[in-house]
Amino acid sequence: MTAPEVARPSVREGAAPATDAAAALLGALVAGGVRHIVVSPGSRSQALALAAADLERAGRVHLHVRIDERVAGFTALGLGRESGVPAVVLCTSGTAAANLLPAALEAHHSGVPLLVLTADRPPELRGVGANQTTRQPGLFTAAARLELDLPVPDEVDDEGDGEQTRVLRGVAADALAAASGAGARTAGPVHLNLPYREPLGGPSPAWLSASPEPGSVSAAPDASSGALYQGGGGIGAADTAPVEEPARVLERGPRTLVVAGADAGAAAEELAHRGGWPLVAEIVSGARFGRNLVHSYRELLREPDLGGAVERVVVYGHPTLSREVTALLSNALIEIIAVRGPGEALNLNGSTLTVDAVAVLEGAADRDWLGAWMRASRAASVDLSPAAPDVDGLASGVPSERLGALATEVAALRAPLDRAALVDAVWRATWPHDRLMFGSSRLVRVADAVLGGKKVPVHSNRGLAGIDGTVATATGVALASQADGRPGITRLLLGDLAFLYDVGALLLPPGEAEPRLQVIVGNDGGGTIFDGLEVSRVAAPEVMERVLYTPQTVQLEQLATAYGWEYHRVTTRSALDQLLTAPVGGRQLIEVPLPR
């Protein structure tokens, strides 16, 4: 009697459809250009997390693990802001997915590419009271460039050529294109909802760790070329979709002002230079440099013969930092031309013309118009340079003169920091190989009001101007800018409430690359930004203190110690200058006490 033939498994032992589907999707995204994956661990997303770990071990991707989904989302946002390539952030089901919404909204309004992958229960468990299950499809509808609720995978693909794998590679190509702005003119978030049935874990297919076959997925363009997502001072104003209309030609004649808002990039300065027009550039624009730059622009916009005489405004980026610019762009009597940028289209006056590009008609510039602005700019500029030492007094043989000069020097060294000196010190210490990020705190408005021109890469979350995820975003910026051994320091300047709101971002797992990051907290004990708003003139002081200032007495040094950060408390300009110019090897928290 012949023994029955033992059936041999056609697939590897322990294989699961969820595992192979996760491998196919993440592998295709990495083949398409993704270089960073941010993971918040969870049960339903374990197949995705394990596939990401395999890709990291194979040297194909940088993996970042965060326990807080909101922190994870903004870390991915920062990676995308700096690199121009969408980062993947993935999480488990339930409230985890909802915690990615703030980062997705900021990505939408700022035009930052982002890939949001949410694991889910299968459709039959939705709406029936199943554990950790809600209706995740549609969570990101208002922001997503593309959202897909994928079918539950049912195939194990040992060879990497099955129908399920081919479909998921197509999904990856579509997701990368949509996140990079194809079909929507601007980059932004993409949401892929991924329902999985148990078993949720198993060995990844061997082909995941191998080099991808050419043509297996539409490769994302090289971000360094600017084709995928062009960077300027921070993220840039380039449209990722092909420009379908010719550049708008600007004729000579109208008294023109160029305005650069958040993420405008160098294109704004270039237009001002070509046209011979004054340039109003926010500190977060990446365009705050050049000989046409207007200093103290808020004051000058209130002047009848300057701001009141503007006939045409060309806008780049997203202006948010001054009421004077907002009023100008809301004026229906002024011709407003907005150059399409990475975020939402601008139309504050109801008749703004949005164009893909602008060109300047040949001809002579209006020297009188530019000259009037430049003379006023020089007169209104603020000089924050520390006073030069009295060399003659210090070298004098007359005791009274020498002692007087020494006393002046000692007083300068001991002078307490104020907000203007703080922002000036950080600005002066930052160079083109560094990165500077501003939080949505009072300090960014001080910086915008007093700082001069300098061509440095600047970031900020001004899409919605929230304080969400500021430390996490800066961490992502630092990780992306310092990848592959590149030099430079990332500095984040923010207030105490913005810092405390994102304190969970201080936590980094052991073994991950530690960025060179200085978080500089101007600590005035609460939300003094409200001092400059109308509410301060109508609300009683005790009410302001109770519901707006949010007073706090947190010991930041103990927070730094708990999270493994190097801590410094500085109270003088000389001490701050010394700290900002010293070598930085890891994470520093710098506290600067400020008066209310």
Q: How many helices (H) and strands (E) does the chain have?
A: 20, 21
Mean pLDDT of the chain: 89
Q: What is the Cα–Cα distance from 525 to 531, expressed in whole angstroms?
A: 13
- Greater confidence, 287 or 227? 287
Pick one of 3.40.50.150, 3.40.50.1220, 3.30.230.10, 3.40.50.9100 as the CATH number of 234-380.
Answer: 3.40.50.1220
Would you say 480 and 112 are in contact if contact means Cβ atoms under 8 Å apart?
no
Query: Can you tell me the mean pLDDT for 115-127?
Result: 93
Give the torsion sign (CA, 332, 334, 339, 342): negative
Q: Where are the domains of the chain?
A: 17-210, 234-380, 415-593
The domain made up of 17-210 is a member of CATH 3.40.50.970: yes
User: Once rounded to an integer, what is the mean pLDDT over residues 118-126?
Assistant: 92
- Once rounded to an integer, what is the mean pLDDT over residues 491-514? 96
Question: Mind listing the pLDDT tens digit for each residue in 350-389?
Answer: 999 999 999 999 999 999 999 999 999 999 988 877 766 7
Sole residue written with tokens 């990368």: 176
Cis peptide before 551 (omega within 30 of 0): no
Can you tell me the distance from the alpha carbon of 353 to that of 250, in angstroms, rounded to the nearest whole number? 12
| pLDDT score recorded for residue 547 | 82
Tokens of 113: 């590419």
Query: In the prediction, which pLDDT does 257 show?
Result: 98
pLDDT band (50, 70, 90) for residue 224: very low
| Residue 413: band (very low, low, confident or very high) from pLDDT cuts 50, 70, 90 | low
Cβ 32 vs Cβ 3: under 8 Å? no
Of 195-204, 301-310, 561-570, least confident by mean pLDDT is 195-204
Identity of the residue numbered 586: G
Q: What is the pLDDT of residues 13-32, one digit of tens each?
A: 778 999 999 999 999 999 99
pLDDT reading at 408 higher than 80: no
| pLDDT grade for 451, boundaries at 50, 70 and 90 | very high
Burial class (CB in 10 A: 0-12, 13-18, 19+), 44: buried
Query: How many Cα atoms within 13 Å fall on the side-chain side of residue 233?
Result: 34
Give the strand pairing for 458-460 and 517-523: unpaired
Buried b (16+ CB within 10 A) or exposed e, 196-230: beeebbbbbbebbbeebeeebbbebbebeeeebbb
Query: Tens digit of pLDDT for each residue in 182-222?
Result: 877 799 999 999 999 999 888 888 888 775 544 343 333 33
Task: Tell me if 71 sits within 8 A of 502, measured CB to CB.
Answer: yes
Any residues with CB less than 8 A from the CB of 355 and at least 6 apart, and which?
245, 247, 248, 337, 338, 339, 340
Q: Summarize pLDDT for 29-74 with one digit per residue, the tens.
A: 999 999 999 999 999 999 999 999 999 999 999 999 999 999 999 9
Region 74-101: what's the mean pLDDT?
Answer: 97
The domain defined by 415-593 carries CATH number 3.40.50.970: yes
